[in-house]
């Protein structure tokens, strides 16, 4: 059965979820010899042809190669890794880490007994460090293609018929490749803001935000989700006056727990970022030297003008299917541009599957990876599994924010009776010795069974710590299970244990 809308997945459900969020995974090495450089043989039919070499596509290609399938992967960027590796997850984290180090040296090291002289930003060198990281990782993906006998075709693919993909090669010329099975993994693109033309200079998306050549004096971020807050944080640390305009009444998007969102906003405000919540952007003008943004209250009200040197549009992402030739095979998308699939990722044409951002579910790289493995397992073994109730989300600001499972507002809306426990990092010995005590761990469990329903963290290393929460939810652990598990001392993870203790009984150190 095919669908355009999917109900929220319960734990261990295998069908993709309809919940969609914004988010944010190369240079290439040509194969030796013309015959190995991306010229597919029309005579040979592949077991699997993958359109798209992003996280979903390249993971599927490697998994299929490991399974002994004859695989070809078509990627038009000329570099594997897709948005995440090239202009998203990876480069943004490089800038987040290095801008944090700069900000810490400026504002924090004196409290640690470290005195430094004049500190300056060398933006060119910072960008080079980012590019070096990306280059190393993308070369690694190409190596894995070679290792697993995946044919890498550099070009733009489009359906000629249900088994044939026509490819316009980057090097020039055309070819075709036939596949017994085809996997669509074309990813997503930034959703443009109506009335503002993206030029990646004054009006930018996340792609432009990781490539600016100078620090803007003023930046307006349209959208207070993860991408907007991460990139706004980078440029705020480097000296820009950043104002975030968000239509909703909280930052972080609807998935972030309201209490966590409120605390995170306070922290980011102390770091210098400004916020205008419950505010909508009505129009923008980029004709002059800078950009002027017109805003008003979300429910209507007095208009306010915001001037900026750069405006970052971070209102979400949308599936990318342009030029794919879906009309040639009769495949359609739903009202949000997503390819419609069944529980085994099949479209209505049984040998054509779709995974990642181009279809249902949160637009997260790790979700796409899980689907890639599951899709190949369905193809080779007849079964696969992704638990959509245990997909973590992380925002890499400082402190980090991470969560998995349900938040309080969702539980209240569903009428679920629950218990809540929390523990502040200010009471954690390792956080105190690190002088990094902002935030807390919050745990939600079923009031009757104590089964963990959701975990929400704002604090140091939240992105790493949430893995324990994912494992707990995956295996149906109770808060008491976690509380009775020994955690090394002194570690930040003890805050996780104490939050579990506070959920089913009482914390010891707070």
Structural domain contains residue 28? no
Q: Cα–Cα distance between 338 and 346 in angstroms, integer?
A: 13
In a shared domain, residues 246 and 272: yes
Binding-site residue numbers for NAD(+) are: 223-230, 246, 316
pLDDT at 301: 84
| pLDDT surpasses 80 at 126 | yes
Choosing from 315, 335, 365, the residue where a domain stops is 315
pLDDT at 395: 98
User: From the candidates 385, 398, 456, 489, which is the catalytic residue?
Assistant: 489
User: CATH code at 411?
Assistant: 3.30.390.30
Structural domain contains residue 157? yes
In a shared domain, residues 72 and 111: yes
Q: Mean pLDDT across the stretch 245-267?
A: 97
Q: Cα–Cα distance between 285 and 267 in angstroms, integer?
A: 31
In a shared domain, residues 305 and 323: no
In a shared domain, residues 207 and 303: yes
Structural domain contains residue 79? yes
| pLDDT surpasses 70 at 152 | yes
In a shared domain, residues 183 and 55: yes
Q: Cα–Cα distance between 188 and 23 in angstroms, integer?
A: 10
| pLDDT surpasses 60 at 34 | no
User: Domain total for the chain?
Assistant: 3
Structural domain contains residue 131? yes
In a shared domain, residues 330 and 425: no
pLDDT at 75: 98
Q: Mean pLDDT across the stretch 436-443?
A: 98
Note if 456 is an active site residue.
Answer: no
Binding-site residue numbers are: 93, 157, 186-188, 223-230, 246, 316, 357, 363-366
In a shared domain, residues 290 and 276: yes
Choosing from 315, 340, 371, the residue where a domain stops is 315
Q: Cα–Cα distance between 417 and 448 in angstroms, integer?
A: 8
Q: Is the dihedral of CA 168, 169, 174, 176 positive or negative?
A: negative
For 59-78, how does the pLDDT look when each residue is reduced to its tens digit (9 = 90+)? 999 999 999 999 999 999 99
Q: How confident is the model at residue 3 (pLDDT cuts 50, 70, 90)?
A: very low
In a shared domain, residues 79 and 169: yes
For 351-377, how does the pLDDT look when each residue is reduced to its tens digit (9 = 90+)? 999 999 999 999 999 999 999 999 999
Structural domain contains residue 198? no
pLDDT at 23: 35
- Is the preceding omega at residue 399 within 30 degrees of 0, hence cis? yes
| pLDDT surpasses 60 at 25 | no
Query: What's the CA angle centered on 218, arms 213 and 221, to 5 degrees?
Result: 90
In a shared domain, residues 357 and 420: no
In a shared domain, residues 233 and 361: no
pLDDT at 353: 98
Structural domain contains residue 39? no
Phi, psi of 376 (to 5 degrees): -70, -35
For 268-281, how does the pLDDT look when each residue is reduced to its tens digit (9 = 90+)? 999 999 999 999 99
User: CATH code at 179?
Assistant: 3.50.50.60
In a shared domain, residues 186 and 324: yes
Nearby residues of 213 by Cβ (< 8 Å), 6 or more positions away:
123, 124, 127
Q: What is the DSSP string of 343-402?
A: TTSB-SSTTEEE-GGGSSS---HHHHHHHHHHHHHHHHHS-----GGG--EEE-SSSEEE
Question: Would you state the structure tokens that stand for residue 328, as one six-digit string?
Answer: 């040639």
Q: Which domain range does residue 310 map to?
A: 203-315
Structural domain contains residue 3? no
In a shared domain, residues 50 and 181: yes
Q: Cα–Cα distance between 10 and 494 in angstroms, integer?
A: 29
| pLDDT surpasses 50 at 469 | yes
> By percentage, how much of the chain surpasses pLDDT 90?
90
Structural domain contains residue 377? yes
Choosing from 262, 294, 315, the residue where a domain stops is 315
């Amino acid at each position: 059965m095919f669908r355009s809308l999917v109900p929220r997945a319960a734990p261990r459900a295998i069908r993709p979820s309809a919940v969609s969020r914004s988010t944010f995974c190369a240079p290439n090495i040509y194969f030796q010899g013309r015959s190995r450089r991306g010229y597919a043989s029309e005579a040979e039919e592949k077991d699997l042809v993958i359109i798209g070499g992003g996280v979903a596509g390249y993971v599927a290609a490697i998994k299929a190669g490991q399974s002994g399938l004859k695989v070809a992967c078509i990627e038009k960027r000329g570099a594997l890794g897709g948005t995440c590796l090239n202009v998203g997850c990876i480069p943004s984290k490089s800038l987040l880490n290095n801008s944090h180090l700069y900000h810490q040296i400026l504002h924090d090291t004196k409290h640690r007994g470290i005195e430094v002289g004049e500190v300056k930003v060398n933006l060119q060198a910072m960008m080079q460090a980012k590019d070096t990281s990306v280059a190393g990782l993308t070369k690694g993906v190409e190596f894995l293609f070679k290792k697993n006998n995946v044919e890498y075709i550099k070009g733009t693919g489009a359906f000629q018929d249900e088994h044939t993909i026509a490819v316009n090669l980057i090097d020039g010329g055309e070819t075709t490749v036939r596949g017994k099975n085809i996997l669509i993994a074309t990813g997503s693109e930034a959703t443009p803001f109506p009335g503002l033309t993206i030029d990646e200079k004054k009006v930018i998306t996340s792609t432009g935000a990781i490539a600016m050549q100078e620090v803007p004096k003023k930046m307006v971020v349209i959208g207070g989700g993860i991408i907007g807050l991460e990139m706004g944080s980078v440029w705020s640390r480097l000296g820009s006056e950043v104002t975030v305009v968000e239509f909703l009444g909280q930052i972080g998007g609807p998935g972030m727990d309201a209490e966590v969102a409120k605390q995170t906003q306070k922290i980011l405000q102390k770091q210098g970022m400004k916020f205008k919540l419950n505010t909508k952007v009505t129009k923008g003008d980029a004709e002059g030297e800078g950009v002027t943004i017109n805003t008003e209250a979300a429910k209507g009200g007095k208009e306010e003008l915001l001037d900026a040197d750069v405006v970052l549009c971070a209102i979400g992402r949308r599936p990318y299917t342009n030029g794919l030739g879906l009309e040639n095979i009769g495949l359609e998308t739903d009202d949000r541009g997503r390819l419609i699939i069944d529980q085994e990722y099949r479209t209505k044409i049984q040998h054509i599957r779709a995974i990642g951002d181009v279809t249902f579910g949160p637009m997260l790289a790790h979700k796409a990876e899980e689907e890639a493995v599951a899709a190949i397992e369905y193809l080779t073994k007849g079964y696969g599994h992704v638990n959509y109730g245990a997909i973590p989300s992380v925002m890499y600001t400082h402190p980090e924010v991470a969560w998995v499972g349900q938040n309080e507002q969702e539980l209240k809306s569903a009428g679920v009776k629950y218990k809540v426990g929390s523990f502040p990092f200010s009471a954690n010995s390792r956080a105190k010795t690190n002088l990094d005590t902002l935030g807390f761990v919050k745990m939600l469990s079923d009031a009757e069974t104590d089964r963990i329903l959701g975990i929400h963290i704002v604090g140091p290393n939240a992105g790493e710590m949430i893995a324990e929460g994912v494992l707990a939810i995956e295996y149906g652990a109770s808060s008491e299970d976690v509380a009775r598990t020994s955690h090394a001392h002194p570690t930040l993870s003890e805050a996780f244990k104490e939050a579990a203790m506070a959920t089913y009984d009482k914390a010891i150190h707070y």
